[in-house]
Amino acid sequence: MEFSVLTTLNTTSSRNDSMAVLIVPFLEDVVFSKTGPQFLENFLKKRQENKDFYAKEGEILLGLPDDKTLPRKVVLWGLGQKKKLNSQKIREQAAQLT
């Protein structure tokens, strides 16, 4: 199964109020700090250094970035291992986000 995520964000010098929350899915068996959206690179590196997030199935991390060009809240959403991922699991985990 293939899927894609938002990889660019139109940022300005002030916080993007039109996007108050950004949800970014990650796979456990892929280094998330290297595969995440480029505009989140520093935020993701910090999460990895602090060992805040591992992208395990059902893991959710809410971040409040200091960077004013990012959305107010960034949710890192762990989908688990790629080989175990299917559309049913994504639907079930997405329901937990709401």
pLDDT tens-digit profile of 67-84? Answer: 887 888 899 999 999 999
Which pTM was predicted? 0.74
Q: What whole-number distance in Å separates Cα of residue 24 and Cα of residue 87?
A: 17
Q: From its phi and psi, is residue 27 left (phi > 0), alpha (psi between -120 and 50) or beta?
A: beta
How confident is the model at residue 18, as a pLDDT? 57
How confident is the model at residue 88, as a pLDDT? 93
How confident is the model at residue 45, as a pLDDT? 86
Which residues of the chain fall short of a pLDDT of 70? 1-19, 33
Distance of CA 43 to the CA centre of its chain: 10
Residue 64 CA: distances (Å) to CA of 30, 44, 68, 76: 23, 12, 10, 11
Task: Enumerate domains of the chain plus CATH numbers.
Answer: 21-97 (3.40.220.10)
